[in-house]
């Protein structure tokens, strides 16, 4: 539905990414962080935020939106908090640094909260939250982004998709909950557009602020900045809980753009700057009791949820993180699915960077028209 899908081994794409990001001008260590954020997204089955964004990051660097030399400057710091000015640096590197600080603070002081301004798109919010749970801590991350969410009763997008991600250590699979505060992301609308299908009710509004199921119309309005956009989780009215999704989007602004005094979503992607802000928090369960006991207690509840009686016709109740966990095993075995349109871009990029496409992909020749998602970037 969005071009043919081709599959490549994870290691191949990792090697390509390592080489490409170093050609962009990043150090080996930096390239490793960036590729891990992107490929983790692909491993988790979130293609829209994975490999396919590599070319866009390159465009961001060549256009000056992303400044390679900027490493993120700590402008305020206490034992439990920090504010970082990203100085237009690469979002993944600024985000990684910020979460590492939050984790260090949580280990020592119990909690670490880091708010970041003037950054760029940082990939999936959940990656950073996961950095904390990988070390036995509770993780949280959020970001704002170019306005795409139309607040309840408005006709103009004022907030980004503003994901909130939470992770909690658990057996056998960590809790991993990473969701936009809109009903859906722009990528989902683009999929419906490509399929020529009407979107479900409650996803979007047109430029008059009236609910619309016409994905082409909505996407056109968004890209021409004519108004309308995607609705908050909860849809168009308070009856269905629209104000709740809108409020959750505001919490992402709070930790990202408010505490850092950075650009709110309605100021993102303007005047040649991204102005994107992020928020990070790590909480140390050892400051509440025995971490192993807390983990076991949570794991029991998760198992009770999985064991609960299923709805008619439903084989399974998922807890958050199971799908991503199973996706990793599947993708490592079957390969990373990539839209051929992306591979055309990758080939062009290799030529531009002086990398030998054949050395990664052998005799494979991408031939699809470019039909990849067009995201916020």
Give the count of residues interacting with its own copies (CB under 8 A): 80
Residue 195 engages its own copies in binding (rule: CB under 8 A):
no
Cα–Cα dist 137/282, whole Å: 6
Q: Which listed range, 1-9, 30-38, 213-221, 315-323, lies at the site for its own copies (CB under 8 A)?
A: 315-323
Between 38 and 231, name the residue whose CB sits nearer to its own copies.
231
Query: Nearest 5 degrees, angle CA 115-CA 251-CA 161?
Result: 95
- SS3 call for 208: coil
Residue 205 engages its own copies in binding (rule: CB under 8 A):
yes
Least distance in angstroms from the C-beta of 317 to its own copies: 5
Q: Which 211-250 positions form the footprint of its own copies (CB under 8 A)?
A: 227, 233-235, 239-241, 243-248, 250
The length of the chain in residues reads 377
Q: Which 160-189 positions form the footprint of its own copies (CB under 8 A)?
A: 166, 168, 175, 177, 179, 181, 183-184
Q: What is the DSSP letter of 175?
A: E
Between 281 and 346, name the residue whose CB sits nearer to its own copies.
281
> What are residue 116's DSSP bridge partners?
84, 278
Residue 115 engages its own copies in binding (rule: CB under 8 A):
yes
Least distance in angstroms from the C-beta of 329 to its own copies: 20
Residue 298 engages its own copies in binding (rule: CB under 8 A):
yes
By the 8 A CB rule, do 140 and 166 touch?
yes
Q: Which 145-164 positions form the footprint of its own copies (CB under 8 A)?
A: 150-156, 158
Residue 81 engages its own copies in binding (rule: CB under 8 A):
yes
Least distance in angstroms from the C-beta of 1 to its own copies: 16
Residue 6 engages its own copies in binding (rule: CB under 8 A):
no
Largest CA distance in the chain: 57
Between 163 and 366, name the residue whose CB sits nearer to its own copies.
163
Q: Which residue has 């056109």 as its token pair?
A: 220
> What is the sign, positive or negative, of the torsion defined by CA atoms of 298, 299, 302, 307?
negative
Residue 18 engages its own copies in binding (rule: CB under 8 A):
no
Which of residues 173, 251, 328, 353 is near its own copies by CB under 8 A? 251
- SS3 call for 25: coil
β-strand 81-85 against 111-119: which pairing, if any? parallel
Between 232 and 341, name the residue whose CB sits nearer to its own copies.
232
> What is the sign, positive or negative, of the torsion defined by CA atoms of 65, 66, 68, 70?
positive
Cα–Cα dist 266/299, whole Å: 40
């Amino acid at each position: 539905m969005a071009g043919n899908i081709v599959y490549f081994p994870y290691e191949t794409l990792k090697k390509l990414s390592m080489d490409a990001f170093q050609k962009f001008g990043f150090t080996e260590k930096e390239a490793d962080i960036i590729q891990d954020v992107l490929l983790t997204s692909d491993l988790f089955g979130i293609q829209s935020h994975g490999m396919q964004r590599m070319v866009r990051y390159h465009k961001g660097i060549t256009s000056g939106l992303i400044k390679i030399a900027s490493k993120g400057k700590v402008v305020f710091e206490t034992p439990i908090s920090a504010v970082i000015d990203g100085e237009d640096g690469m979002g993944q590197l600024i985000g990684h640094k910020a979460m590492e600080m939050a984790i260090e603070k949580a280990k020592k002081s119990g909690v670490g909260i880091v708010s970041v301004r003037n950054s760029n798109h940082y990939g999936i919010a959940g990656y950073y939250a996961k950095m904390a749970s990988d070390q036995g801590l509770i993780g949280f991350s959020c970001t704002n982004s170019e306005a795409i969410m139309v607040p309840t009763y408005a006709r103009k997008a004022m907030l980004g998709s503003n994901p909130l991600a939470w992770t909690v250590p658990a057996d056998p699979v960590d809790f991993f909950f990473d969701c936009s505060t809109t009903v859906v992301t722009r990528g989902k609308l683009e999929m419906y557009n490509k399929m020529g299908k009407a979107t479900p009710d409650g996803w979007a509004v047109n430029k008059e602020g009236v609910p619309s199921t016409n994905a082409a119309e909505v996407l056109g309005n968004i890209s021409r900045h004519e108004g309308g956009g995607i609705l908050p989780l909860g849809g168009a009215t308070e009856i269905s809980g629209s104000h709740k999704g809108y409020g959750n989007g505001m919490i992402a602004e709070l930790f990202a753009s408010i505490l850092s005094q950075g650009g709110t979503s309605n100021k993102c992607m303007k005047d040649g700057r991204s102005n994107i802000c992020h928020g990070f928090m790590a909480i140390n369960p050892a400051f509440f009791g025995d971490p192993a006991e807390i983990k076991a207690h949570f794991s029991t509840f998760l198992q009770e949820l999985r064991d609960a009686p299923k709805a008619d016709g439903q084989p399974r109740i998922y807890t958050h993180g199971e799908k991503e966990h199973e996706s990793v095993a599947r993708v490592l075995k079957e390969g990373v699915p990539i839209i051929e349109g992306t591979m055309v871009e990758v080939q062009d990029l290799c030529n531009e960077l002086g990398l030998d496409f054949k050395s990664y992909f052998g005799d494979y020749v991408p031939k699809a028209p470019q039909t990849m998602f067009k995201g916020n970037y």
